[in-house]
Amino acid sequence: MQRVSTLILAVLLFACTAMAVIPQKETNPVYLNPNAPLEERVEDALSRMNLDEKIAIIHAQSKFSSPGVARLGIPGLWCTDGPHGIRAEVKWDEWDQAGWTNDSCFAFPTLTCLAATWNPEMALLYGQSISEEALYRNKNVLLGPGVNIYRTPLNGRNFEYMGEDPCLSATMVVPYVQGVQDNGVAVCVKHFALNNQEDGRHVVNVTLSDRALYEIYLPAFEAAVKQGKAWSIMGAYNRIWGQYACHNHRLLVDILRGEWGFDGAVISDWGGVSNTDEAIHNGLDLEFGSWTDGLTEGRSNSYDAYYLAEPYKEKIKKGEVSTKELDDKVRNVLRLIFRTSMNPNRGFGALNSIEHILAGRMIADEGIVLLKNDPVGKGKQAQAVLPISKEVKTILVVGENAIKQMTVGGGSSSLKAQYEISPLAGITRRANENHMSVTYVRGYVGDIGGEYNGVSTGQDLRDERSAAELTAEAVAAAKQADVVLFIGGLNKADHQDAEGCDRLQYGLPYGQDELISSLAAANKNLAVVILSGNAYAMPWLAQTPALIHAWFNGSETGNALADILFGSVNPSGHLPFTIFPTLEDYPSHQYGAAAYPGINNEVEYKEDLFVGYRYADLYGTKKPIKYTSDGREYTINPPKHKPLFAFGHGLSYTTFRITKAALDGRNVKVTIENTGKVAGKQVVQLYVAPRKSNAVRPKKELKAFAKVELKPGESKEISLQLTDEMFRYFDAEQHAWVTDKGTYDICIGTSSDDLPAQLEYIVK
């Protein structure tokens, strides 16, 4: 009898538990109806939640997840790094690997490469492909893309972003967002805002003019929100105007929600919250963390100690704050859940599919930039080193980056890739197909490590030889080869292209500059290939006939590079940032430590609007530009040197010519012709230049672009539409966008320093 009673009691308890978890039919829950209007679902779910459930849903329950409401059948959210691939699974409460054997992803090219394609179609393909990998792993929120502006080449995280120009970044981020979210996965656009350096990122306070904020640093975020309809956005670590970005009232309340109408969720960067009161009132919705009080030792559930957890609930219970802000936060999180984990149109995804491999390779092919390709020799015998001629018999490959795997390391972008084709492997395979022999020598020793957060490449790159010995070996081998390919650059180690710390120098590390010069002296048929997400000094440039900037291109790195080197793909990438000769040529490095990296954790953007090519365009100006903006006085000294390579620069194995440009109302019609012997793609760029203005403005600014593919001898007409927004600037005193009447030059070409076609447009 006792056993029967126990059994009955157990059944009753199970039934009660089930009833508590499964919503009852008689309650007619609107929130479970995917066909009901979204806001009705949100309000219905909110009305059914108690205080504990509301508090729980706005902060993490593990390293990468937040809870839903089990009693109501509402699932939680699972986030994942990063913008270039789906991060390997970590333990519930730790950064260490979970030890899964089925979480190896496809590694896509970094976002600098995507920006260098100058092709929104590639951004859409990227978003669609990476969201399918997220779906396969049941991830709801992709922590990316990053759209912070390239302000200094020392920023260790530039490789994760989309360059120096707000128009390029804004144009490329929108299709990326749409591609991801069309599959029911949310983007989390980051890092909002002004996270433009890694040194001191947790403490620096950024000050700048409103004009620079609105014209340079916000447009990509605004486009992601207003055009892309981003479902979530991530706050930055740094402070702005003295207040941390993750709970910055002006950024999150006034601008993001007030001016842009954002209806998604604001997610903190991991450990980016530092104050409960500010987090309550200043627009943060969902707290994730690493270094907050939530990880205090000895707690049974450390996440309950987060700023938006027990401390928040206690303030409500004591009557110190109302539940109005809490309900708003819960609404935003519920909206995110209904759009993702409760989205009935989500697919099952795919991992490492052939479609993703082809997409990644195509993006890398279009993003690799041919910077220089001068002919070698004299007269009719002169011939460019690239593409590698079929007459070549012996190829020497030099450099650590030819063999080093780059998908592991670099911070939160580190990936456990299923495979990674090295440059050497890709080159060797293609050379063998063409009956060429390949020899490899090390040349230099850089970062011999290959492990990050428990993911290991398995490579042992130790080499005890001296730099002199390595150089001597490389030079001797170079004298015997038909073509020499040096493959170097940066890597994903600390103080290279990596999260958490900035670069220590502008030049290439590990003695590469000296090695390249030695190779150039030994063999005139030298092509230099740099893998990097950043610009760098090039003291050897005049000695080097061919130069390729190849980024970090993920799993298909070697195959994509071989496509370009051997000419099966015609390069069509264009630089998303300006490359100056020296670090001092960058405007952010002309004002001492006050502008970078800061004094006493205070950083002032003293270069104001004049970032990248906007500053380069001042070359030749005789006097400094002096003006006042937002009560701050600015002095912009003209650059001492021209850029080595201009923003938007990129060569091809064919040649192009703009044959016609005309205005038809607001429609700019441009005819471009392929005047060479092979098919190729070219980027037509449109800049707007005011002849006069009531305010200090850059000489010209990119406002539109289009990529076009042409066969030899083929011409095409493309159309670029002028809009009101292209002529305006931000007036801080009026806090409004204004447009000066008058004449504007519409400048059209293929880079910021090559604009042969100019049209006149009058704003009345």
Cite the active site residues.
Answer: 269
User: Around Cβ 381, how many Cβ atoms within 10 Å?
Assistant: 8
64: tokens are 């990468």
Count the residues in the chain.
764
258-274 as b/e: b if 16+ CB within 10 A:
eebebbbbbbbbbbbbb
Q: Count CA atoms within 13 Å of residue 552 on its CB side.
A: 30
SS3 547: strand
Q: What is the DSSP annotation of 336-389?
A: HHHHTTT-TT-----SS-HHHHHHHHHHHHHH-EEEEE-EESSGGG-EES-SPP
Bond prior to 82 in cis (omega within 30° of 0): yes
366: tokens are 């279009």
**Which phi and psi angles does 94 have, rounded to 5°?**
-140, 165
Nearest alpha-carbon partner for 525 in 544, 542, 511: 544
Residues pairing with 287 in the sheet:
59
As a whole number of angstroms, the distance between CA 378 and CA 475 comes to 24
As a whole number of angstroms, the distance between CA 141 and CA 131 comes to 9
Decide: 250 and 321 in contact? Cβ < 8 Å.
Answer: no
Q: Write the single-letter amino acid at 163.
A: G
Q: What is the 3-state secondary structure (H, E, C) of 266-279?
A: EECCCCCCCCHHHH
Look-up of token digits 């009101």: 724
Q: What is the DSSP letter of 158?
A: G
525: tokens are 């048929």
620: tokens are 């030749």
Q: Is 97 exposed, middle or buried (0-12, 13-18, 19+ CB in 10 A)?
A: middle
759: tokens are 């049209």
User: What residues contact 656, with CB distance under 8 A and at least 6 apart?
Assistant: 672, 673, 674, 675, 676, 680, 682, 710, 750
As a whole number of angstroms, the distance between CA 247 and CA 236 comes to 9
Decide: 760 and 682 in contact? Cβ < 8 Å.
Answer: no
Nearest alpha-carbon partner for 276 in 318, 240, 225, 232: 318
655: tokens are 């040649």
Look-up of token digits 């030695």: 518
As a whole number of angstroms, the distance between CA 15 and CA 108 comes to 48
748: tokens are 């059209």
Q: What is the DSSP letter of 61?
A: S
User: What residues contact 379, with CB distance under 8 A and at least 6 apart?
Assistant: none
Q: Which helix (H) or strand (E) holds 175?
A: helix 166-181
Decide: 300 and 268 in contact? Cβ < 8 Å.
Answer: no
Query: What Å distances lie between residue 552 and 130, 139, 407, 471, 475, CA to CA?
Result: 16, 24, 8, 25, 27
Q: What is the DSSP letter of 250?
A: I
